[in-house]
Amino acid sequence: MCRHHSIAERFRVHTMTKTKFAFWDVDHTFLRGDSMLLFLQYGLWKRPWTFYRMLPIFWKALQFKLGFITAEEAKPSFFYAMSALSEEDLEHFFDTKLYPRICQDAYQEIRRLKSEDYIVVLVSASPHVYLKHFKKLPEIDEVLATKLTLTENSYIPCIEGRNCYGEEKVAQIHRFLERRGQTIDYEHSCAYSDSISDIPMFTLVHHRYLVRGQHPELEPVKWKKESRLHPHIGKIWMVISALMTATGQLFWTWGAESIFYLGLGFLCYGGGAIFMIRGLSLEKLSVAYPMMCLSYVFAIGYGYWILHEPITLNKLIALILIVSGVFLLSHER
């Protein structure tokens, strides 16, 4: 029995068709920006009263960055609004937020590959529930991504199976190949990603392209920067976020005596969170986030001009150091 099974397995593998594949990461590769941050912004737009969820989300993100929790534990917090959104909402999110942010250089490369008979597969750690709409593009053959749990009426922010990241991307690709009865034509296939965490996926193909980075085993590729309203618009949003955060704190100093000012403080904090998410979706985290320290500068300014608090020499030196630090950290040629 085992012998017959082994012969059948070898015959199946031998008869599987070798095909040219092009595997593409999505965030910061095919897409300008991070789709999860864009979804977080979309969720706040749909449910603005839920801005209070920002603090636990950022706490989870920090724990993940420090290695205290896994991606499977951190990611669900970003999709808290998922259960309130319909399939129509998710398609609307793709049409209005993701589709306009497709990198045109990357799309041109995908069109070229498709014209040369490649099978184009998007492979991403972001949720399949909205990335699946990329299949509306005629050049995209398949989308492999992280699955969220589907209940009777809606999706919930809970990962089903494993996060499609690192080795799991390879596992999903192999399952996809089995379903199609195909194998990868190693010599002629290619992969594109902005992250070295996709090294396992890169090993499946001969031509390996790293977007926005350097690695000795990967060929660097850079897309042209596309025009937008302002070259530093992401940083501008972060400055506005810092200003609104400081303004919210100012209102809260009067909140103990007036529920009106307490409410205004919460509104400013919520607006600041929305601007922060927008800024982070346009700039690198290491470039944009240091600008939130400007909230200390605005707070001291409010203290001096409105609350008549003195600016001591120590505060003045601290302000100079903060502004200098923000400039050095956020300045990138």
pLDDT tens across 245-256, in order? Answer: 889 888 888 887
Residue 78, CA distances (Å) to 38, 53, 56, 274, 277 in order: 10, 9, 10, 14, 11
Average pLDDT, the chain: 84
- Who wins on pLDDT, 114 or 48? 114
Parallel, antiparallel or unpaired: strands 190-193 and 207-211? parallel
Question: In this predicted model, what pLDDT tens digit does every residue of 289-321 receive, in sequence order?
Answer: 888 888 888 888 888 888 889 988 888 888 888
- Lowest mean pLDDT, pick from 39-43, 70-74, 102-106, 210-214: 70-74
What tokens were used for 296? 């200390």
Under the banding of pLDDT at 50, 70 and 90, the label for residue 8 is: very low
pLDDT given for residue 9 in this prediction = 47
Under the banding of pLDDT at 50, 70 and 90, the label for residue 287 is: confident
Q: Where are the domains of the chain?
A: 2-221, 233-330
Q: What percent of the chain has pLDDT over 90?
A: 37
**Is the per-residue pLDDT at 38 higher than 80?**
yes
Domain 2-221 has CATH 3.40.50.1000: yes
To 10 degrees, what angle do helices 35-46 and 259-282 make? 150
pLDDT given for residue 198 in this prediction = 95
- Who wins on pLDDT, 166 or 212? 166
List of residues 6+ apart from 136 with CB closer than 8 A: 94
pLDDT given for residue 152 in this prediction = 74
- Who wins on pLDDT, 51 or 18? 18
Question: In this predicted model, what pLDDT tens digit does every residue of 199-241 receive, in sequence order?
Answer: 999 999 999 999 978 899 999 998 876 545 455 777 888 888 8
Neighbours of 63 (CB within 10 A): 14
- Who wins on pLDDT, 140 or 58? 140
Q: Are 22 and 121 in contact (CB under 8 A)?
A: yes
- Who wins on pLDDT, 112 or 268? 112
List of residues 6+ apart from 283 with CB closer than 8 A: 234, 235, 238
**Is the per-residue pLDDT at 66 higher than 70?**
no
Rounded to 5°, angle at Cα 141 from 137 and 122: 85
**Is the per-residue pLDDT at 167 higher than 80?**
yes
How far is residue 333's CA from residue 265's CA, in Å, rounded to a whole number?
Answer: 36
DSSP secondary structure of 28-53: TTTBSS-HHHHHHHHHHHH-GGGGGG
**Is the per-residue pLDDT at 146 higher than 80?**
yes
Neighbours of 190 (CB within 10 A): 20
Rounded average pLDDT over 135-160: 88
Chain length of the chain = 333
Under the banding of pLDDT at 50, 70 and 90, the label for residue 168 is: very high
